[in-house]
Amino acid sequence: MRHSEFWALLDDVFGVDYSRSLARDLALDGLSSRTSAEALADGTPPRDVWHALCDQMDVPLDRRDGGARERMIPPRR
């Protein structure tokens, strides 16, 4: 997953306005209490950030593709 794919998914699942707030403000338990933006800036792979964010927000597995069934979400490591 590339950074651009992460941001597109974030917008698709949470909406453009809310997604930016989540990325900037929500501390993620699965990423040592860093926000998504901080984790990405620190070099954490976007796929790991995506799964941590979805876990924290209780996004069901069938919605993690943003409604685009042809979009492949990389599995967890």
pLDDT-derived band at 61, boundaries 50, 70, 90 = confident
Examine the pLDDT at 77 and tell me if it is beyond 90.
no
Triad 67, 72, 77: Cα angle to 5°: 120
- The pTM (predicted TM-score) of the whole model is 0.89
The per-residue DSSP string of 9-71 comes to HHHHHH-HHHHHHHHHH--BGGGTTB-HHHHHHTT--HHHHHHHHHHHTT--GGGTTTT-TTS
Can you tell me the mean pLDDT for 8-20?
A: 93
Work out the mean pLDDT of the chain and round it to a whole number.
91
